[in-house]
Amino acid sequence: MANGGDSIQVDVSQPSIGDGALGAAGLAVDLVAARRGESPLVQAMRRLGKSTTALAGLVIVAILVLVAIFADVLAPDSPIASDQTQTFASPSADHPLGTDQLGRDMLSRVIHGARVSLAVGVSSVVFALFLGVPLGMIAGYYGGRLDSVIMRLMDLVLAFPVYLLAIILMIMFTPTAGPIGTIKVVAAIAIVRIPIYARLVRGSVLSIKEKEYIEACRALGVRDPSIFIHHVLPNCLAPIIVTTTLGIATAIIVEATLSFLGLGTQPPTPSWGWDLKANVAFIQANPWLSLFPGLAIFVTVLGFNLFGDGLRDALDPRLK
C-alpha cells in the first residue's frame, strides 16, 4: 500500500528543469571523462558545476545557511522583544518589513526563522537517514524473516497519510517552545520519513548484494559490517544523496505546515509557519505581514529543490 510519502521516490524519477537534450550527448562526455581517468565522483562534480539549476539552488542554500548562522549579527532587533508602542508599524527605515501585533521587528523574525526551519529540515532528514539506511540495508542484505518484519513495519508507517501521522505524533509529544520543542518537531518528521530511506536502500541493496564484488568480499572473509560500510553503502549513495536533498525541502514544508497548524515550533521561538498563521488574522489591515514569512519558506524550499534536481542529474545521468 502506498501513500503520499512516496512522492520523494517518485521525484527521483522526474527530470528537472532544462534537462532534455542531454542523454546521448551526456554519455559522450562521460566516455571522454572516463578515458581521462576521472573517477565517477569527479565526473559528477564536473556535471554539477555545469548545471545552472544546481548552482542557483546551492547559492540560495548557502546564503540561507549564512543567514541562519549569523542571525544575531544580521538581525537589526531582537526577534522576541516586543515594543508595545510600535505595533503593526508599516515598513520603514527602522523596520524594513514592519512590525507584528506585539511590535516585534518582522525582518528580525524572518532572519531568525531561518534557524528553526533549516535546523528542523536538515536534522529530521539526518535522523531519518541514520535509522532508515541501516534498516533498509539489513532488510535487503539478510532477507528472510528479518526483511519481512522490518518492511511490514515500514509499510505500516507508509500506510498513513503523512500529515495525519505527523499531527498525531506532535500531539503525543505536546508541542513546546525552545530547543526541546524543536527536537520534538524533528522527531515527528523523522519518524514519518524513515520508511522512505529504508525502502530506497533496501531496493538498491537487493541488486548490489548479488554482485560479484560482494561475493568476492565474502569469499575473502570480510565481515558484514565492513561489507556494508565499504562496499554496499558507496554503491547506493547516489539515490540516497538525491533523496536527502529533496527530502530537506519536504521536511521544511512539513515543519512550516505543522507550525502553521499551531502544532510545530511554539512561540516565542521565531518560526515562519507560525508567523504566517499568526499574521493571516490581520491580513486585511496589514497585508505585508503574512507575505514575508511565506516568501522565506518558499525561497528556502526552492533552493533545496533546485539543488536536489541538479544533483540528481549530475549523479545519475541515466535518469535524463
Partner 1 sequence: MRLYLLKRLIQIVPTVVMITFVVFLMMQSIPGDPVVALLGDAYTEEDAVKIREAYGLDQPVLVQYFIWLGKLARGDWGISILTGRPVLQDVLVRLPVTLELIVLSMAVALLIAIPAAIIGALRQNTWADYTATSVAMIGVSIPEFFVGVLLLLAFSVGLHGVLPSSGWVYLPGTCPNMVCGVSFWGNMQHVLMPAIALGIGRAAILTRLLRASMLEVIRTEYVTTARAKGLSEGPVILKHAFKNALIPTVTVMGLQVGFLIGGAIVVETLFAMPGLGTFGIDAIIARDYQQVQGFALITALAFVIINLLVDITYTFLDPRIRYA
Three-state helix/strand/coil letters over 221-246: CCCHHHHHHHHHHHHCHHHHHHHHHH
Alpha helices for the chain (secondary structure H)? 7-12, 24-35, 40-50, 52-69, 71-74, 106-142, 144-158, 162-173, 178-208, 212-220, 224-227, 233-235, 237-260, 272-280, 288-315
Give the contact letters, 143-182, x = binds to partner 1 (CB under 8 A), - = no.
-------------x--xxxxxx--xxx-xx-x--------
Q: Where in 14-43 is the site for partner 1 (CB under 8 A)?
A: 14-18, 20-21
From the number of C-beta atoms within 10 Å of its C-beta (0-12, 13-18, 19+), residue 230 rates as: exposed
CA-closest candidate to residue 316, choices 14, 10, 5: 14
- Give the range of 10-18, 36-44, 124-132, 209-217 binding partner 1 by CB under 8 A: 10-18
Q: Does 298 bind partner 1 (CB under 8 A)?
A: yes
Segment lying near partner 1 (by CB under 8 A), choices 25-33, 138-146, 181-189, 294-302: 294-302
Q: Is 78 in the site for partner 1 (CB under 8 A)?
A: no
**Per-residue exposure over 35-45, b if at least 16 CB sit within 10 Å of its own CB, e if not:** eeeeeeeebbe
Which of these ranges, 40-48, 139-147, 176-184, 288-296, lies near partner 1 under the rule CB under 8 A? 288-296
- Residue placing its CB nearer to partner 1 in the complex, 24 or 93: 24
Shortest Å distance, C-beta 193 to partner 1: 13
Interaction mask 233-262, partner 1, x per CB under 8 A: ----------------x---x--xx--xx-
Closest CA to 269 of 259, 261, 281, 279: 259
Q: Which residues bind partner 1 (CB under 8 A)?
A: 1-7, 10, 13-18, 20-21, 156, 159-164, 167-169, 171-172, 174, 249, 253, 256-257, 260-261, 263, 276-277, 280, 283-284, 287, 290-291, 294-295, 297-298, 301-302, 305-306, 309
